[in-house]
Amino acid sequence: MKNGLALGVLLARLALLALLAGCRSTRAPWNGRVDLYGTMREVMMEQKTQGRVELSTLSGDPELVGIGALEQLAGEVVILDGVVWCTRSGDLGTLDTRAGAAPGELATVLAVARVPHWIRVSVPPGLAASGIEAFVEKAAREHGLGRAITFPFVIEGEFRDVRAHVLHGRCPYMGKGPRETEPVRRLLPSAKGRLVGFYTTLSPGTLTHMGEKTHVHLLVKEGEPLAAHVDALRIEAGAVLELPVD
């Protein structure tokens, strides 16, 4: 009788372990792949700003995350939740943001990754844009992403004192140029949305500017929609960092 009971308990435990393993297997880990179309060096320094990838072909995939710039540096791109967001700059400081790329709309530089699942980490309130790199680096190391050369991340929450820009034909990091190519800038006292970025240890000029390991865009859907490059901000309490499950 005792042997039969023990065998029954063992079989129940094995069945439970199999069930848990099956549940885990449905949460496919990120494969570590990041696709790069063009580099910062090519488009910013060498002025090779031709289109390299058609954005409409990247719509509709809810696992795809990405950031980039439109051909001829005419605006910014954010890809999230199956939607390609494009903010195109115009004369006199105007911006046109659209959810969904038009047929034939191209990016000159773009980084994209397909992430099946994310882990969520609380962000300390008051974290400045300048502190995102160190915070993301530490969180990635603690959650098993420390060996990844390049990976995407998302920060969802509320932000204050936001300074962002949208390209208008020239990179502002390359010094002063013709006034008509100055980026269109936005100052937002507060904004609710998501920061979409990539962390990388690749050489500067590949995906990041000199001296930086992160490239971060802001996506705002409420009020005036906006997809823009982040210059400065502070993160309010309650924000959450999302990292790929490795």
Domains of the chain with CATH codes: 35-244 (3.30.1330.80)
Model pLDDT, residue 92: 86
Model pLDDT, residue 27: 61
As a whole number, mean pLDDT of residues 121-130 equals 98
- HEC string of 45-94 equals HCCCCCCCEEHHHHCCCCCEEEEEEEHHHCEEEEEECCEEEEEEECHHHC
The position carrying tokens 């696992």 is: 63
As a whole number, mean pLDDT of residues 159-182 equals 89
Q: Is 172 helix (H, G, I), strand (E, B) or coil?
A: helix
Model pLDDT, residue 2: 44
Report the 10 Å Cβ neighbour count for 189: 8
Using pLDDT thresholds of 50, 70 and 90, give the confidence band for residue 146: confident
Q: Which residue has the higher pLDDT, 122 or 28?
A: 122
Instruction: Tell me: pLDDT of 13 over 80.
Output: no
Model pLDDT, residue 15: 44
What's the chain's average pLDDT?
A: 90
pLDDT tens, position by position, 199-227? 999 999 999 999 999 999 999 998 889 99
The DSSP element (H or E) to which 6 belongs, if any, is: helix 2-25
Range of lowest pLDDT (25-29, 115-119, 151-155): 25-29
pLDDT tens, position by position, 26-73? 567 899 999 999 999 999 889 999 999 999 999 999 999 999 999 999
